[in-house]
Amino acid sequence: MSLLDGLNNMQREAAERTEGPLLVLAGAGSGKTRVLTYRIAHMIEKGVQPWNILAITFTNKAAREMAERVEKLIGEDAKDMWVKTFHSACVRILRRDIDKLGFDKSFNIIDADDQKTLVKECLKELNLDDKIFTPKGVMAEISSAKDSLKLPVEYAKSVSGDYRLEKIARVYELYQEKLKVSNCLDFDDLIIQTVRLFMINRDVLEYYQNKFRYILVDEYQDTNNAQNILIMLLAKSHRNLCVVGDDDQSIYKFRGANIENILNFEKMFPDAHVVRLEQNYRSTQNILDAANSVIRNNLGRKGKNLWTDQGEGEKILIHREMNEQEEASYISSEIGRLYRDGYKYSDIAILYRNNSLTRSLETMFMRDNIPYELLAGRKFYDRMEIRDMVAYLRLAKNPDDDMSLKRIINTPGRKIGKTTVDTISETAYREGTSVFKSLQSHKDEIKTNLREFVDLMEDIIDKKNSLKVDEFVNYVYEKTGYREHLEKDEKAEDRQANVGELISGAKTFLDTMENATFDEYMDNIALVSDLDSYDESGEAKDKCTLMTMHSAKGLEFPVVFILGVDEGIFPSFMSIYDASELEEERRLCYVGITRARKKLYITGAFSRTVYGKTSPYQKSRFLEEIPETVYEYSEKSPFTRNSSFGSFEDDFGFAPIERKPRIETTTLLPKKESKMELTGNITFKVGDRVKHKKFGAGLITAAENVGNDVRYEIAFDSVGTKNLLGLYAKLEKE
């Protein structure tokens, strides 16, 4: 009996093809993790050495699951493989060789909050207004530069002549200087510095190319430019590269994900073999038909059609209410009915485009006593007491970490004020060293309270490798006076319990990882993902789950509600004017739909109050793309027959707009350079100068028919090239 006998034909084809480049287009719920694990087990069974295998995914949770599954199939040999996230793999590589780039191997990893603090510090030193140069905007620009593999010098050259970007280039330069002095890396640095290491040190690259003769990448559609280059460098020698992903689930453009990586894989590897996994093991056919029909309207995709042998199942329920309060009431009442019918609350997820949509829903759930959990990111490590404790631990690991030092130098209070901190920071900057090293070198000259702080940290640093990890965390808690400090807090019990959980987590890590070091523990907590602690089983607590559709990717539930499916909400108003953004929104809709196993509800409202203003909303175009055969529609609106509400005209001043019937199209008409009429007497052609309300003036460089619309490629003078749909862009001739 073969190891692969339990796979379907396409899964087996993907698992058996171990040599050369392979692209596996894995539809939602098609068993891609099963394929990856069986493929690895099959390779080892054929004689491939486990230490020659590198499997990369995006979350620690997915990496753990894959490693555990492989170990069940082949036993202890699985522990010799690298099954890691991009960032954890890069950390391991950099811990070995980052000194070749001028960093110390004890570097710390800073998170988004630390980045923001550091950027603010840079803006202040450069006398730049943080209302004009917002920290969030500057961080995004720096991240984009790093994804393009541009260090400060290269970035400065590329933006020469642009006043705003030249200022950001100076911030980027100072930001990197401060990171270097503190011996710290941000998350983007983990990738870019590994790529730099490979490009500068040929021997290091060749070592890892020879080590990793077989490379597998999960969720390939989510890779950014730098991650893709990293993989291409590693795979260049042996070319045994298997990438698994779904172009229809590429929804992280805002994080830098580049869908072109998966769409162009066959251009990079003309001899690549392609396998499509289209049999779905999660959802009913009605749900899949809805997903297929929606995503078919995207042009930038490889193309596949999900199917199942589980039957049609129940029809999708699409319902629209008068407003968001009534929408929430409908969802709450339906959940109550489902619970009475035998579903658990933990079987139910409510998904939405953005977090602002939950207010009415949470109010209604509290009124109706429906238990729920709001999944809104990495909460535990964001708590004040945990960040304080982790700052002490980070400073113990890397005494050059100025950000951690500044956070805890006066916590608990040591009568070290801001003026003192600024003074010692300036001294360290002049000396070209970190604050802690500067304090150490001036230990005989500094004030008693500063000298006591240095003595405290020197003692802690001395203990970090002589105690077990959990014992050391507890030692820091006691020695620094932080336990006593929390006793005075009005939320003392909760905060102390949280620190207790941190210590317990250190013990669990030690129990899980044999011979784990303090440095490995610190890397582990630095790389924690927002969904790594999510309990899919629902065994611990019977609560409904509320989350964004971005957060729901990779999860599944028996019952799913997607709320706020209105034009301007989902798809979002801004995406309507950009063809590529609209396709991203449609992929997000596809992800939301395919989270449901048995029952799917889609809700909307005819009016919503947003930022204090009540406005009418039309049905989302995504609803119009779902075939009528798979859903039942109901509504309560101002213009429903026998409605107790007034007319739509009375409430909002105008009648609802009739949307033109959608024209189904499966082929893209050839590009034309002749005039293309849109509405009225307005015509545009390639070469015309046009104006857009948001993007300003630009030149039309290409035009193509898309159904009953025209998609224009426009090179704008100030914001670069955009793809816009003519019916929504409201272009004017310049």
Just list the catalytic residues. 32-33, 218-219, 249, 595
Angle at alpha carbon of residue 349, lines to 353 and 587, rounded to 5°: 40
How many residues in total does the chain contain?
A: 734
Using CA atoms, how far apart are residues 477 and 471, in angstroms rounded to an integer? 10
- Residue 674 structure tokens: 């002749």
Which residue, among 521, 386, 502, has the nearest Cα to 91 in the 3D structure?
521
CA distances 272 to 243, 261, 275, 297, 304, Å, are: 10, 14, 10, 27, 18
Using CA atoms, how far apart are residues 45 and 53, in angstroms rounded to an integer? 13
Q: 699, 714 in Cβ contact below 8 A?
A: yes
Using CA atoms, how far apart are residues 527 and 525, in angstroms rounded to an integer? 5
Written as one string, the DSSP assignment of 320-380 is EESSHHHHHHHHHHHHHHHHHTT--GGGEEEEESSGGGHHHHHHHHHHTT--EEE--S--G
* Amino acid residing at 528: V
Written as one string, the DSSP assignment of 265-313 is HHHH-TT-EEEEE-B-SSS-HHHHHHHHHHHTT-SSS-----B-SS---
573, burial (CB in 10 Å: exposed 0-12, middle 13-18, buried 19+): exposed
CA distances 238 to 231, 443, 707, Å, are: 12, 55, 44
Q: Which residue has the tokens 């894989």?
A: 265
**Which residues fall within 8 angstroms of residue 143, CB to CB, at 6 or more apart?**
188, 256
Residue 725 bridge partners (DSSP)? 711
- Residue 135 structure tokens: 């920290």
Using CA atoms, how far apart are residues 673 and 669, in angstroms rounded to an integer? 12
- Residue 599 structure tokens: 């029952």
Q: At what angle do helices 86-97 and 187-200 cross, to 10 degrees?
A: 50
On the CB side of 287, CA atoms within 13 Å amount to 34
How are the residues of the chain apportioned to helix, strand and coil, as percentages rounded to the nearest 5?
50, 15, 35
